[in-house]
Structure 1
Amino acid sequence: MSIPAVQAKLLEGKKGLIVGIANDRSIAWGCARAFRAFGADLAITYLNDKARAHVEPLATELEAPIFLPLDMAVPGQVEAAFENIAATWGKLDFVVHSIAFSPRDTLAGRVTDAPRDGFLTTMEISCWSFLRMAQLAEPLMKDGGTLFTMTYYGSERVVKNYNIMGVAKAALESAVRYMAAELGPKGIRVHAISPGPLATRAASGIPEFDALLAKAKSKAPARELVSIDDVGAATAFLAHDAARLITGQVLYIDGGYHIID
C-alpha cells in the first residue's frame, strides 16, 4: 500500500512525535511513514544505543529534524524529549505512543500469579507512559492536537498467551476515554489504535504467535492480515482536521477480525 501523491500534503505544517520505532517492521514505522507522506514533520526517538543503529537510518529517510533517545525506564529522558521539541518547534500537533513492555516471567505466567514488581513495570511502561506523554504534550498543543496509542483485541477478550498485557491494554483503553473527556475542551483528541496481529519485534515475545496470525487470517472477513502501512494511513487520517470531532475511540484495523466469534 502506498499513499497517493495527490494526498501528500494533507498534514503539511503539522509537527509530531513518534515513539516506538524499533525497526522497519514496527507499527510505529508504518505510522511515521504515513505521516511523513502526508507532509508532517517528525521527531523520532530510539530506545537505547543498540536500537539507534536500526532506527537512525529510518529517521534519516523521514528527514526527521529531531532524533533523540527515549527510554521510560531512564529518569528524565521523556521530559528531555519534550523540552527539545518545545525549543525546536514551540508546538506539537500529534503524538504516536507505540511502546509496551512486560518482564518475560510476568508475561509468560498466569495473570493470577503476576508478581507485584512485574505488574507495576508492565503498567508503567505500557499504560502510565502514555499518560505522562499526554501531560507533557498538552501545553504544546496550543491549537489542539491528537494523541495516539496502540492497543490490541486482547484487552477485551482472553487471548491465549497475551496474559498480563491484556490487563495493561484494558487499562490503557480506559485511560484513552478519560483523557479524551478531559482534553477535549482544548481541542485535543485521544485514540487507541487496535491493529490485528502483526509480525513485529514486540509480537515475537508471545508464544505460538504464528498460530495466532494464521487464525486471524482465516477468520477475518477480509481474509487477509493487516500491514503496518494500513495502520499508518488510518492513524494519519485521524490527525487531520477532517477528523476533528472523532475522539475517545478504539479504532480496529484488523480486516474485521474483532467482530467474529
Structure 2
Amino acid sequence: MIDTLKGKKGLVIGIANEDSIAWGCAKAFHDAGAELAITYVHPKTEAYSRPLAEELDVPIFMQCDVEKEDELDALFQRINEEWGELDFMLHSIAFAPKQDLGGRVTDCSREGFAKAMDISCHSFIRMARKAEPLMKNGGCLLTVSYYGAEKVVDHYNIMGPVKAALEASVRYLAAELGSGGIRVNSLSPGPIATRAASGIGHFDALLEQAKQKSPEHALVCINCVGAYARFLVSDEAHLVTGSNVYIDAGFNIMGT
C-alpha cells in the first residue's frame, strides 16, 4: 500500500462495529498512512468500537453523540489541542425512529422527521462548521448517502427525503467552502449489511435485487467503499468536490 495519506490527520464518525462502512474507510485511511480520531456514541457501544480503535492505534478515541453539542465541541477542541489541524473527516451516521422509518413518508411524525434530519443531515453541516477552521491548508469532508435519495426504494421510506437533503447539503457546502480549499463529497454505496441497515424492512430482498440487477452482479463490501474514500481524501482528488459518487457495481445506471 502506497502511503498516499502519510502525515494527514482525519476524523471518522460512525464506527459501530467491524461491519460498519466507517470501519472499512478507517482501515483504508490507516493503511495509507493517516492518523485518525475515532468516536463512539455512548458507553454501550464503546465495547464494540474500542478494540477497533486500538487495532488502528488511534491517538484520539472519544464519546460523541452528535445530538449533544457539548460532546461535539469537546471532540473538536481535543483535535485542535492535540493536532492543531484536520485534513479530512468522514461522517457515516444516520438514524430515524423505528415507527417513522417503518411507515409511509406521508405518515411520518414531525418529531421523527426532525430527529432523522438532525442526526443524519444537519450534524454533517455542524461538523463542517467546526472542521473549517482546522482545515487551514484545505481538506476533504465526506458523508454517506444511498440511491434511495434519488429514486424511490421500497421500505427506505423517510430516509429517502433525508438523504436527498444530505446530498443537496454536500453541493452547497462544496460551493461555500471551496475557496478555502475544502472539498465536500458524498459516497453512495450499494446496500451493505450493516447494523444501521438492519432497521430497513425486507433488507435481504434489497440485497438480492442489487446483486441481480447490477451489471457486475455483485454486492459491495465495506472495503470497496473504503478504497474510494481513501482516494477522495487524498491529494490525488484535489479537484473532485460537490459530487455524489456511486460504489454499487453499476446498479444506479440500470432502469427499473
Q: Distance in 1 between matches of 2:53 and 2:91?
A: 16
Matched, 1:50 2:6: no
Look up the equivalent residue of 2:129 and give its one-letter code. Q
Query: Which residue in 2 is equivalent to 1:19?
Result: 13
Query: Which residue in 1 is equivalent to 2:140?
Result: 146
Q: Distance in 2 between matches of 1:153 and 1:130?
A: 19
2:32 is matched with which residue: 29, 35, 38? Answer: 38
Query: Which residue in 2 is equivalent to 1:164?
Result: 158
Matched, 1:193 2:190: no
Measure how far apart 1:222 and its partner are. 1.1
Measure how far apart 1:62 and its partner are. 0.7
Matched, 1:224 2:221: no
Q: Do the aligned partners of 2:67 and 2:118 also contact (CA within 8 Å) in 1?
A: no
Look up the equivalent residue of 1:16 and give its one-letter code. G
Measure how far apart 1:72 and its partner are. 1.5
* 1:97-137 Cα distance to aligned partner (Å, 9 max, x none): 00010000111111011111111001000000000000000
Structure 1 residue ranges without an equivalent (≥5):
none
Matched, 1:104 2:98: yes
Q: Do the aligned partners of 2:214 and 2:251 also contact (CA within 8 Å) in 1?
A: yes
Q: Distance in 2 between matches of 1:248 and 1:16?
A: 19
Query: Which residue in 2 is equivalent to 1:183?
Result: 177
* 1:55-114 Cα distance to aligned partner (Å, 9 max, x none): 000000011000000112234111110000000000000000000100001111110111
Name segments (4+ residues, structure 1) moved above 3 Å. none
Considering only aligned residues, what root-mean-square deviation do their CA atoms show, in Å?
A: 0.6
- The number of aligned residues is 255
Q: Distance in 2 between matches of 1:108 and 1:214?
A: 20
Look up the equivalent residue of 1:48 and give its one-letter code. H
Matched, 1:78 2:75: no
Instruction: State the TM-score, normalized to the length of structure 2.
Output: 0.99
Query: Which residue in 1 is equivalent to 2:246?
Result: 252
Q: Do the aligned partners of 2:97 and 2:112 also contact (CA within 8 Å) in 1?
A: yes
* 1:206-240 Cα distance to aligned partner (Å, 9 max, x none): 01000000000011111100110000010110111
Matched, 1:212 2:206: yes
Q: Distance in 1 between matches of 2:82 and 2:69?
A: 22
1:121 is matched with which residue: 115, 118, 129? Answer: 115
Q: Distance in 2 between matches of 1:147 and 1:107?
A: 27
Q: Distance in 2 between matches of 1:201 and 1:169?
A: 18
Greater shift, 141-150 or 71-80, is seen at 71-80
Q: Distance in 2 between matches of 1:27 and 1:160?
A: 22
Q: Distance in 1 between matches of 2:236 and 2:23?
A: 23
Measure how far apart 1:35 and its partner are. 0.2
Greater shift, 25-34 or 64-73, is seen at 64-73
Question: What SS does structure 2 have at the residue aligned with 1:78?
Answer: helix
Q: Distance in 1 between matches of 2:72 and 2:159?
A: 22
1:241 is matched with which residue: 216, 220, 235? Answer: 235
Instruction: State the TM-score, normalized to the length of structure 1.
Output: 0.97
Identity of aligned residues (%): 57
